[in-house]
Chain A
Amino acid sequence: MSKVSSAKKENNKMAAIDIPEVHKFIETIPPFSSLSLPERKQLLTGVTMLYVRQGQTLILKDEAATVHLIRRGACEIRTPKGGLVDQIADGECFGVSSVMAQNPDGLQVVAMEDSLVYRFEKTRFMETLAQSEAFGLFFEHTQHNRLRKLSRSQSNELASPALQLSTPISHIMTRQLILATPEESVQTIAMRMTEARVSSILVVEGDKLTGIVTDRDLRSRILALGGSADSLVKEVMTQDPVNLRPDALVMQAQTLMSESNIHHLPIVDEEQRAVGMLTAADLLRHQELSPLLLINQIHRQQSIEELARVCKQWPTLIMNLIVTDMKPADVGKVLATVSDNLTRRVIELALDKYGPAPMAFQFLVFGSQARRDQSLGSDQDNGLMLEREPTEKESQYFADLSECICQGLGLCGIRLCPGNIMASNPEWRRTAVGWQQAFSTWIKSSAPSALLHASIFFDIRCVYDSGDKQGDAVNNLIKAMQLEVSKNSVFLATLTRTALASKPPLGFFRHFVLESSGEHKNQLDLKHQGLALINDLARLYGLSCKTYRAGTLDRIEQAIREKLISVDTARNLMDAWDKLNGLRLEAQGRHWQATGKASAYLDPKDLSSLERKHLKTTFSIINDVQDVAQQRFLRGYS
């Protein structure tokens, strides 16, 4: 009897879907693992399998409007406009909302890798949902999660050009007008324009707009014709220029300007009184805050307070760069360019305030600004290099100047350095010889603890040279330093020890998996637990090169060139740096949107399992390169 029943059982199994490889996979994947065998068989009835080529888009309608499970591969879930909602991989599902809510958002699935996908039959799936509570809850949660991510991705889309075009001009025009009368000489108005840093001036009679003079007019109607500086405005101005009312829309302004081929559009009220000015740059800036325009604005500001106001756009700029999917290394370079320009403008304004310096000096930056990998909320690390030893009075001048610069940068959003590595600290205002001695001391001292705090100085760059020598003094210092370092294997060994002092948090993931549901919200510090380790390794390799480079990727590339590191190892490390930097920027972006504060902490809840997998690989790469570095630099010393 027992024989019969067991044979019957076998026969039953034969009837339903019975592919061992399919069951073996499904059994291990939550929430399918919570199903009983009969439930699982019911769900598997009618299941099909498809192969989706990389880059192919699945539109979840008709028979595809059902839940899919990725057997192997990776996919992105996107809105119809292309906004990224989620990235998923092996063992994760998509199409949940198309089953549970008819996919109101019209989500699409794009294969990031070739993917082998199970497609469940819709009615079977619904039956299983209704029968198993745990199963249903899981998918509700998945759907809820996606919705959260969806709303986040849509808020990024809000700044769409369509919406911006319908903004009234009055919102974006410049109201501080630079005016002239028809009887003034072109020289006087040219001086006024230069002073105000504008490229056009409005000509008024009484309070009515009668003309406009632009940079181009001065060039083509005076200079090119050999005209005199005493010529009168009324001889060169464009009379009764094209204009618009303040309530016109941005789109109208744009059309008018491109039709009339002009870059300056005066805005007037009903009585023909000038009330504003709209430039092509204003329009561009409004459409998308671009780094170039921010730099442009930075150079036009006349006080630190104004600069600070302009720099409020800094986070928005970073968000824009992140949203446009710019490569992390390029984001770093763009931000460095902006902050270099900001630094120079602050220095210029400080020089305006305290008068010209009594001697030539160079403004040095260290750390992330020197490496060109700044991000949101980076703090300042800087110093001064003086032409010679200052007198007491000169010393006071540089103290005031530096204080003004550092506080100014602080106001503009580059935080004061908590370790006081700033030009405002007399310790970091030195002559070339003074700096050389400082570096010599660090290089000769073989105590890792001394180096731990000094290593930031080895990332060094000159951003401002008052003497028009383009930082030659600093470059000489760097050359001397590099030469001394690359030949000093004891120093390199010490540097290696400090670079290897921290290990990537590979255990984090186990930890995370174990405790994610409990009270312990584990967070990952991408900067200190990841990027800093790569920066340390790159500095180590960079300093053992013959040629100095400040940037992390540049250093690794230089090390390849000088054959200090294998191409494979180097490429892996560069990929890891890119990956971590990308994650950091994203995490910062999210955090900024949510709280208005920058944070490089990553909440594991925000990671898909694909990202988790990548991150794990990334950390093990760092670990591997640390081993390679130990072999290279510590042999015979440890």
Chain B
Amino acid sequence: MALAFMQKLSAWHLSRQSLKRAWSEWDYLVLDIETSGLDPKQDHIVSFGWVCIHKGVIELDTARHIVLDSAQIGDNVGIHMITDSDVLQQGKKQESVLRYLRHLLRERVLVMHHAPMELGFLKQAWQTEALATFSANWLDTLAIERTKANRAHQPIQDGGFRLGSCRERYGLPEYQGHDALTDALATAELLLAQIAYQGRDCRLHDLNQMGGGRVRLATR
């Protein structure tokens, strides 16, 4: 019992220490989730999109767009452009996707735009699939942007923290599609831009302070 506690403590200490390394020494997984609605209790995940960042650059061939076989498309087809036949042909089991994601997140920091929403759905899914407990560091590009605006005393209007509006401020291109994959890539680019503005010696620690944390995904 005491040993386990000490191990945990030393792991925690190690992770605190390593937060001080340069941001580019970390690997990241930038995630976007399409869902059937806004409430994790009632609604469910339709698709995952992600792309990884390694040594400070986005590795485009790590990009994945995965539709779940459980996806119920219904009226939302107009939003994420996923059709019933996509689900039939390409649908994957949520459990295996989450296991894969867990595997990838063992050595990566999870990045999202507007974390509360994505994390809410992930927590719910974790319970549904009864997966083993798992913790991950995360960053939220929206929270980073909000902190930045607050620090600079620059009020940003309603809607100004939407992914597209944030990207516009950094001169990033306007993307047409809004599927989970495009949004994941868009978020990854936004993160690089935010970091570039922080300066070369930006650390994960700094980003964490602006908008990050640690999440515990548990079966409960």
B172 within 8 A of A: yes
Whether B60 contacts A71 by the Cβ 8 Å rule is no
B193 within 8 A of A: yes
Whether A18 contacts B57 by the Cβ 8 Å rule is no
Residue-wise, chain B 95-131 has the 8 Å CB interface mask toward A (1 for contact) of 0000000000000000000000000000000000000
Max chain B CB contacts within 10 Å: which of A19, A47, A72? A19
Which residues from chain A contact B182 at a C-beta distance below 8 Å? Answer: 19-21
Whether A71 contacts B173 by the Cβ 8 Å rule is yes
Whether B90 contacts A10 by the Cβ 8 Å rule is yes
Residue of B nearest to A24 (CB): B176
Which residues from chain A contact B134 at a C-beta distance below 8 Å? Answer: none
Residue of B nearest to A72 (CB): B173
B59 within 8 A of A: yes
Which residues from chain A contact B193 at a C-beta distance below 8 Å? Answer: 51, 114, 116
Query: In the complex, how many angstroms separate the beta carbon of B149 from the nearest chain A beta carbon?
Result: 18
Task: List which A397-429 residues lie within 8 A (CB) of chain B.
Answer: none
Whether A72 contacts B60 by the Cβ 8 Å rule is no
Which residues from chain B contact A52 at a C-beta distance below 8 Å? Answer: 196
Cα-based distance from A294 to B170 in the complex (angstroms): 47
Query: In the complex, how many angstroms separate the beta carbon of B132 from the nearest chain A beta carbon?
Result: 28
Max chain B CB contacts within 10 Å: which of A16, A25, A47? A47
Whether B58 contacts A21 by the Cβ 8 Å rule is no
B34 within 8 A of A: no
Cα-based distance from A230 to B185 in the complex (angstroms): 90
Cα-based distance from A49 to B28 in the complex (angstroms): 14
Whether B61 contacts A116 by the Cβ 8 Å rule is no
Residue-wise, chain B 181-206 has the 8 Å CB interface mask toward A (1 for contact) of 11001001100110111000000000
Which residues from chain B contact A49 at a C-beta distance below 8 Å? Answer: 57-58, 60, 188-189, 192
A interface residues, tally (CB under 8 Å): 32
**Could you tell me the dominant secondary structure of chain A's interface residues?**
mixed
Query: In the complex, how many angstroms separate the beta carbon of B59 from the nearest chain A beta carbon?
Result: 5
Task: List which B138-193 residues lie within 8 A (CB) of chain A.
Answer: 170-173, 175-177, 179, 181-182, 185, 188-189, 192-193
B65 within 8 A of A: yes
Which residues from chain B contact A19 at a C-beta distance below 8 Å? Answer: 51, 60, 63, 181-182, 185
Query: In the complex, how many angstroms separate the beta carbon of A284 from the nearest chain B beta carbon?
Result: 40
Of B175, B192, B196, the contact of A21 (CB 8 Å cutoff) = B175
Which residues from chain A contact B51 at a C-beta distance below 8 Å? Answer: 19
A14 within 8 A of B: yes
Whether B197 contacts A53 by the Cβ 8 Å rule is yes
Which residues from chain B contact A44 at a C-beta distance below 8 Å? Answer: 60-61
Given A18-B65, A44-B61, A73-B171, CB of A51 within 8 Å of CB of B196: yes
Query: In the complex, how many angstroms separate the beta carbon of A433 from the nearest chain B beta carbon?
Result: 61
Max chain B CB contacts within 10 Å: which of A11, A20, A45, A46? A20
Given A18-B63, A19-B185, A72-B173, CB of A48 within 8 Å of CB of B90: no
Cα-based distance from A136 to B196 in the complex (angstroms): 34
B interface residues, tally (CB under 8 Å): 29
B56 within 8 A of A: yes
Residue of A nearest to B192 (CB): A51
Given A49-B57, A72-B173, A73-B171, CB of A7 within 8 Å of CB of B65: no
Query: In the complex, how many angstroms separate the beta carbon of B57 from the nearest chain A beta carbon?
Result: 4
Cα-based distance from A50 to B189 in the complex (angstroms): 8
Query: In the complex, how many angstroms separate the beta carbon of A84 from the nearest chain B beta carbon?
Result: 23
Query: In the complex, how many angstroms separate the beta carbon of A119 from the nearest chain B beta carbon?
Result: 7
B42 within 8 A of A: no
Whether A47 contacts B170 by the Cβ 8 Å rule is no
Cα-based distance from A18 to B64 in the complex (angstroms): 8
Task: List which A103-133 residues lie within 8 A (CB) of chain B.
Answer: 113-114, 116, 118-119
A360 within 8 A of B: no
A17 within 8 A of B: yes
A22 within 8 A of B: yes
Which residues from chain A contact B185 at a C-beta distance below 8 Å? Answer: 19, 21-22
Cα-based distance from A443 to B171 in the complex (angstroms): 50
Which residues from chain B contact A118 at a C-beta distance below 8 Å? Answer: 60
B89 within 8 A of A: yes
Query: In the complex, how many angstroms separate the beta carbon of A166 from the nearest chain B beta carbon?
Result: 40
Whether A21 contacts B176 by the Cβ 8 Å rule is yes
Residue of B nearest to A113 (CB): B171
Given A51-B189, A71-B173, CB of A14 within 8 Å of CB of B90: yes
Whether A116 contacts B173 by the Cβ 8 Å rule is yes
Which residues from chain A contact B192 at a C-beta distance below 8 Å? Answer: 49-51, 116
Of A11, A17, A50, A53, the contact of B63 (CB 8 Å cutoff) = A17
Cα-based distance from A11 to B65 in the complex (angstroms): 12
Query: In the complex, how many angstroms separate the beta carbon of A25 from the nearest chain B beta carbon?
Result: 8
Which residues from chain A contact B58 at a C-beta distance below 8 Å? Answer: 48-50
Which residues from chain B contact A7 at a C-beta distance below 8 Å? Answer: 89
Of B56, B90, B175, B196, the contact of A114 (CB 8 Å cutoff) = B196
Whether A47 contacts B61 by the Cβ 8 Å rule is yes
Cα-based distance from A17 to B64 in the complex (angstroms): 8
Task: List which B13-31 residues lie within 8 A (CB) of chain A.
Answer: none
Cα-based distance from A19 to B51 in the complex (angstroms): 10
Cα-based distance from A51 to B65 in the complex (angstroms): 23
Max chain A CB contacts within 10 Å: which of B61, B173, B189, B193? B61
Which residues from chain B contact A114 at a C-beta distance below 8 Å? Answer: 170-171, 193, 196
Whether B173 contacts A45 by the Cβ 8 Å rule is no
Residue-wise, chain A 51-80 has the 8 Å CB interface mask toward B (1 for contact) of 111001000000000000001110000000
A-B CB proximity, top 6 nearest: A51-B192, A53-B196, A49-B58, A48-B57, A17-B61, A50-B57
A-B CB contact pairs (8 Å), 12 listed: A19-B60, A19-B181, A19-B185, A21-B175, A22-B185, A45-B61, A47-B61, A50-B192, A51-B195, A72-B171, A113-B171, A116-B173
B-to-A contact residues, CB < 8 Å: 51, 56-61, 63, 65, 89-90, 170-173, 175-177, 179, 181-182, 185, 188-189, 192-193, 195-197
A-to-B contact residues, CB < 8 Å: 7, 10-11, 14, 16-22, 24-25, 44-53, 56, 71-73, 113-114, 116, 118-119
A sample of 5 more A-B contacts (CB under 8 A), given A21-B175, A44-B61, is A18-B63, A19-B182, A20-B177, A51-B189, A114-B171
